Chain A
Amino acid sequence: MNEHAPALVAMLPIIGAILIMLIRHNHLNWLIALLSGFGTMYYSIILYLDARSMETISYAMGGWEPPVGIEYRIDEFNALLIALISIMSFLILIYAKSSLSNELKKNKISTFYSMYLLCLGGLIGILSTGDAFNAFVFLEISSLATYVIISMGGDRRGLLAAYQYLIVGTIGATLYVIGVGLIFIITGSLNLYDISVKLGDVELYRPLLASLAFITVGIALKIALFPLHAWLPNAYAFAPSVGTAFLASTATKVAIYLLIKYLYLVYGFDLVYSNQIFIFVVLSLSVLAMFGASVIAIFQSNLKKLFAYSSVAQIGYITLGIGIANYNGLIGSTVHIINHSIIKAAIFLAIGCLVFSSKIVNIDQLAGLGKKMPMVAVCITISSLSLIGVPGTVGFISKWYLVLGSLEQGWWVVVFALAVSSILALIYVGRIIELIWFHAPVSSIVSENKIPFEMIAVTVLMTIATIYFGIDTRLTGDLAKIAVENVLLGEQL
């Protein structure tokens, strides 16, 4: 079955989702979700190993050769991300059971698992597809599932957040479709590889640029690139904790990959980066995101919202690397996609533990947490530190590459911006750490439930990962190097 791994990776979660809805059994649904999550993880790792040993894997859906049929195209880069998000979502699934039964109504749990798996399947579909329109379809699958997940948070404002995201997400997807439509009119093809070949000898420069703009803006809405980020903080704040952790560690990363894919593999380095305006816009928006969102984060009182704004800022780092667009910059982006995914999962899982045990949602409730729940407090502290980029944590590695990249280009302003935004991050993280360790416990907060072992275990595991990958950079750094060298910059090097 291994040669069918590209199809299986995307289909296993979806089959799991279908089975959950067919059976709707209260105890079985977690098991089914876990099984299909495990299967996905297993095949995604096989897929990555395959991608390493072969060149590019092309899988023809329905047996029709591309570009006539739909092609799944796996290279070292997207295989890496597929493996990343399926491992993350499997771990979060282990964590999910107790957290969900605490936060959701009983009859909604099976729907949640189903949506979770559908979202996962959709994201993997976006990563692996080599077809522009197929990417749109899977984008919509994951988006619709996301809207439902957000609306399930229990807080009635979750409905507003879901609605807001639905409008924004649909506009984004429609803009993307317009962009794809323009390409389709000038090339007659939807296969991304085929398009990239054909674009070379297209004389119609204007539709090409317009399609680039539409696709970039459409995806930027999904990425929540500043200033198009308005939906993200609310969405993260009001989704169930498990949902937040899942979305924060996977969804935006996939959208970023889609953007990278278009910029590098479809339009091509030369077209995109000969356009000074484009680089300027991407860079300035990234820098703005790093500042703006961090400043807003400083003034947040809701814990989840704070880290959601910090996500917007961190996305700025990733797009910054895309804008820098040299070897080190891109490695910085890639490593940061992986690292930020781990960091945010750790943080939101830890917050999920807090919600589980004592319904903590605001920052001032954290006071004295270090004495009451030392484990969780340590996890939050470490992963927040890694958000700032303290040496010895993963956050440092990605920033290091970004600094290297911008130095190579001679962009001192960008280096300066990186430093300042780290200081800003220090302010909001510092406030949290101070409250946790140096304040007397608030007596009104009572811990109701003992946190189950598996929730703590997964949270601790993620936290350890943020340190481990910060010290031992071989794994993430090397994988990112391979991905960037072989896929993105293949022709330049």
Chain B
Amino acid sequence: MSFEIYHFITSYNYYIIIFLMISGLFIVVSKGNMVKKLVGLALFQTSVYILYISPGKIVGGTAPILADGYTIYSSPFPHVLILTAIVVGIATLSLGLSLVIRINEEFETIEEDELFNNELNDE
């Protein structure tokens, strides 16, 4: 049992991630408003960043910019990946938002319930 408690305390970063991730995913799958869905999607993606970054941290380490006087650096590898992921995230977001603008123009609503029931399913 003590191992479990120890484990829980030392891995708290993962539980933060999981909470944020689930909230983001929940917004995406449960909300009908398209803008809100995209916000949720952004949250979902953002929470993944910590999943990558947090294991790269070393206690007592410093940012991976080499300088005299420091010997322990946190891992630069995940940082690079997440930089790419952020870029992909904003690209997706902007494309999604532009689709929302057009959808709003064409259908005058951005609520999914109304749209999908009326447009896509009745043929």
Chain A interface residues (CB < 8 Å from chain B):
133, 136-137, 140, 144, 147-148, 151, 156-157, 159-164, 166-167, 170-171, 173-174, 177-178, 181, 184-185, 190, 234, 300-302, 305
SS class of chain A's interface: helix, strand, loop or mixed? helix
Q: A156 to B109, alpha carbons, bound, how many Å? A: 13
B85 at the interface (CB under 8 A from A): yes
Contacts of A161 in B (CB 8 A): 120
Q: A300 to B120, alpha carbons, bound, how many Å? A: 12
A160/B119 in contact, CB under 8 A: yes
A166/B103 in contact, CB under 8 A: no
| Shortest distance between the CB of A360 and any CB in chain B (Å) | 15
B8 at the interface (CB under 8 A from A): no
A133/B81 in contact, CB under 8 A: yes
Contacts of B55 in A (CB 8 A): 185
A166/B99 in contact, CB under 8 A: yes
Contacts of A300 in B (CB 8 A): 123
B30 at the interface (CB under 8 A from A): no
B51 at the interface (CB under 8 A from A): yes
B44/A144 in contact, CB under 8 A: no
Q: A144-B91, A163-B34, A181-B52 are in contact. List 12 more A-B contacts (CB 8 A).
A: A133-B81, A140-B88, A148-B95, A151-B99, A159-B103, A160-B103, A160-B116, A163-B103, A166-B92, A167-B41, A178-B48, A181-B51
Contacts of A185 in B (CB 8 A): 51, 55
Chain B residue nearest to A157 (CB atoms) is B119
Q: A174 to B82, alpha carbons, bound, how many Å? A: 12
CB-contact partner of A174 in B44, B81, B102, under 8 A:
B44
Chain A residue nearest to B100 (CB atoms) is A163
A171/B88 in contact, CB under 8 A: no
| Shortest distance between the CB of A432 and any CB in chain B (Å) | 17
B91/A140 in contact, CB under 8 A: yes
Interface string of B38-60 (1 = CB under 8 A from A): 00010011001001100100000
Take A137-B88, A144-B92, A181-B51 as given contacts and tell me if A167 and B28 are in contact as well, using a CB distance cutoff of 8 Å.
Answer: yes
| Shortest distance between the CB of B83 and any CB in chain A (Å) | 11
B2 at the interface (CB under 8 A from A): no
